[in-house]
Amino acid sequence: MSESSILVADKQTADPVQWRSPLALMIRRFKKNKRAIAGGWMVAIFVIVAVFARWLAPYDPFEQNMEVILNLPSFSHPFGTDEYGRDILSRVMYGAQISLMVGIFGVIISALFGVALGTISGYFGGKTDMLIMRLIDIFMAFPSFLLALAIVSVLGPGMVNVMLAIGIFSVPTFARISRSSVLAVNNKEYIEAARSMGSGHIRIIFKHIIPNSIAPIIVLSTMRIATAILTASGLSFLGMGAQPPTPELGAMLSTGREFLRSAPHVSTIPGLAIMFIVLAFNMLGDGIRDALDPKMKL
């Protein structure tokens, strides 16, 4: 064995963390975060339930049975039944499917447009940066939920319009985070080297800028799913989202208000489902943020 190989082996033995790859370090940080692991398992459970709701649900979520109206939780109906005798457990499973779909697609829409605007703004700077940022400032002047409500009011109620509204009102947040990340890497040595070698703007952006500034976007996307689900539930609660008899959690929470005294489970169970889904994504997002932070010590 050569002398250089012995020195490398000694360094790896003396400081094993230093010689790990960034991905290995991120996974190790994530595994050491118990809250992140719990959030990850909760998200995994909700995703499995949502994807396989058709096979896991014990009843048809639309099936009405007037003989078991507003029944309390029992062995045959673990979450009870609603005002039409429909099984709440089955409707919550299908409702989780709708909520996750709205949250994920809404965040994808906002991430695509927000990252594009933020990257262009941070990379080119000057008048382009000023124009895009002033447009973003106008959108951020409106409260997010009110902006989403206004968009859905114009487009009309429905889950597709809710996804579009969530995608639009989340664009400014993604644009600002993306711009900040691009500004942090735009003047690095490898970017200057790529420019000096004659690389075009498109190549630099897609090969160097975006890959090295994507970590905050991943964290924001995970946490923004929780905000999107909460917003979609709020719009459905106000009657602007899913329309009856669609088993959406916010709509179920709204219809159950009339029975808070006689059958509180009709509204509290969908409300708890929303709370745990949002909590799971927030915990997962916090864990990913801590794992991607190079300043975190193992």
Task: Give the tens place of pLDDT for each residue, 135-182.
Answer: 999 888 888 888 888 889 888 888 888 999 988 888 999 999 999 989
Residue with tokens 């639309």, as numbered in its chain: 62
Read off the pLDDT band of 22 (50, 70, 90): low
pLDDT over threshold 60, residue 189: yes
- d(C-alpha 40, C-alpha 124), whole Å: 37
Max alpha carbon distance in the chain (Å)? 84
CA geometry: angle at 83 spanning 78 and 84, to 5°?
Answer: 90
Q: How far is CA 72 from CA 29, 92, 252, 267, in A?
A: 44, 15, 16, 12
Read off the pLDDT band of 116 (50, 70, 90): very high
Integer-rounded Cα Rg, in Å, for the chain is 24
User: 27 or 19: which carries more pLDDT confidence?
Assistant: 27
HSE-up (13 A, CA, CB side) for residue 86? 22
CATH 3.40.50.80 fits 35-58+79-292, yes or no: no
C-alpha dihedral, 90 to 95 to 101 to 107, nearest 10°: -150
Q: Which residues contact 96 (CB under 8 A, 6 or more apart)?
A: 46, 49, 50, 53, 249, 273, 277
- Please state the domain extents for the chain: 35-58+79-292
Read off the pLDDT band of 295 (50, 70, 90): low
pLDDT over threshold 70, residue 113: yes
Question: What pLDDT is attached to residue 280?
Answer: 93
Mean pLDDT, all residues of the chain: 85
Q: For 30-59, what is each residue's pLDDT tens digit?
A: 888 888 899 999 999 999 999 999 999 999
- d(C-alpha 230, C-alpha 266), whole Å: 19
User: For every residue of 97-134, which 3-state class applies, written as one string?
Assistant: HHHHHHHHHHHHHHHHHHHHHHHHHHHHCHHHHHHHHH
Q: How far is CA 74 from CA 56, 89, 141, in A?
A: 18, 11, 49
Whether residue 294 has a cis bond before it, omega within 30° of 0:
no
**pLDDT cut 70: percent of the chain above it:** 90
Residue with tokens 């012995």, as numbered in its chain: 6
